[in-house]
C-alpha cells in the first residue's frame, strides 16, 4: 500500500502508526457499545486506549510480515459485543457500533490534517509522520467501509437493509474471512487489483475531503 519496499525507520514508524490507529478504531467500537448499553467490552478490558488490549497475535504478525513487502495488512482483536444488550436493538445497534470504527479513523485523520492544511508544521519529519497518520487512517476507514464480511461496512449494510434481506445476507458472515482473503490476494492471479478497485475511489474522495487534494495512488 505504501510502496514496494520499506526501511527500518519506516517499518517501526508504520507499525506504531498502524497499532495506534487500530487502537482508536477498536476502542471506539467498545465505547459505542458501552454507550448503547452493552458492558461486555468494558468488563473484558477493551474500553481503553492501551494498544496491548487490542492486539491480535495473528493480526499483529500479519501486519509485520506484510509491511516487509510494503503493505501493512492486518487486524486488531475484534471487540466482543452482545447485540441483545444494545438499546437500539441488535440490528440497528450493531450497525451503529460498527460504523463508529471507520468514523473514528476519519476523525483522527481530520484532526491531524489541520496543522498540515494550515501550514502549522515546520519540521519535515513531523510533517511526514502526520501525513503518514492521515493517509493510513483514511486507508483504514476506506477499507473497513467496504460492505464485505467481516468488515464494518457489511454490518452497517445489514443494519440499513430490511430484515428479510439482512437475514439472507447475514449468512455470508460464516464465509467472511475467506471472502476477504480472496478479495485481497486474488488480484495477482486474475490480473486485476480487486482491493484497489474497491478502495481507490473512496480513499481519494476521503483524502480530498480531509486534505484538500487527491491522494497519491497507493494502489
**Which sequence positions are flagged as catalytic?**
26
Number of continuous H segments (helices) and E segments (strands) in the chain: 11, 0
Cell of 20: 495506534
Name the phi and psi angles at 149, rounded to 5: -70, 145
Residue 76 pairs in a beta bridge with: 55
Could you give the 3-state DSSP secondary structure of residue 205? helix
DSSP 175: G
The set of cell numbers assigned to 179 is 471472502
Please give the Cα distance from 16 to 175 (Å, whole number). Answer: 31
CA distance 160 to 155: 9
Helix (H) or strand (E) holding 103: helix 90-117
Amino acid at each position: 500500500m505504501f510502496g514496494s519496499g520499506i526501511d527500518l525507520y519506516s517499518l517501526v514508524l508504520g507499525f506504531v502508526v498502524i497499532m495506534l490507529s487500530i487502537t482508536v478504531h477498536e476502542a471506539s467500537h467498545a465505547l459505542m457499545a458501552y454507550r448503547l448499553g452493552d458492558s461486555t467490552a468494558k468488563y473484558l478490558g477493551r474500553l481503553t486506549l492501551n494498544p496491548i488490549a487490542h492486539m491480535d497475535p495473528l493480526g499483529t504478525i500479519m501486519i509485520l510480515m506484510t509491511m516487509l513487502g510494503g503493505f501493512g495488512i492486518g487486524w486488531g482483536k475484534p471487540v466482543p459485543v452482545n447485540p441483545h444488550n444494545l438499546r437500539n436493538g441488535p440490528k440497528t445497534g450493531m450497525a451503529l457500533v460498527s460504523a463508529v470504527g471507520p468514523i473514528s479513523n476519519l476523525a483522527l485523520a481530520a484532526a491531524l490534517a489541520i496543522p498540515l492544511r494550515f501550514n502549522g508544521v515546520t519540521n519535515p519529519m513531523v510533517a511526514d509522520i502526520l501525513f503518514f497518520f492521515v493517509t493510513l487512517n483514511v486507508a483504514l476507514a476506506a477499507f473497513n467501509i467496504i460492505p464485505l464480511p467481516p468488515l464494518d461496512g457489511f454490518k452497517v449494510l445489514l443494519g440499513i437493509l430490511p430484515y428479510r434481506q439482512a437475514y439472507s445476507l447475514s449468512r455470508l458472515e460464516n464465509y467472511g474471512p475467506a471472502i476477504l482473503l480472496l478479495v485481497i490476494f486474488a488480484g495477482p492471479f486474475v490480473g486485476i487489483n480487486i482491493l484497489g478497485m474497491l478502495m481507490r475511489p473512496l480513499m481519494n474522495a476521503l483524502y480530498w475531503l480531509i486534505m484538500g487534494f487527491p491522494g497519491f495512488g497507493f494502489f
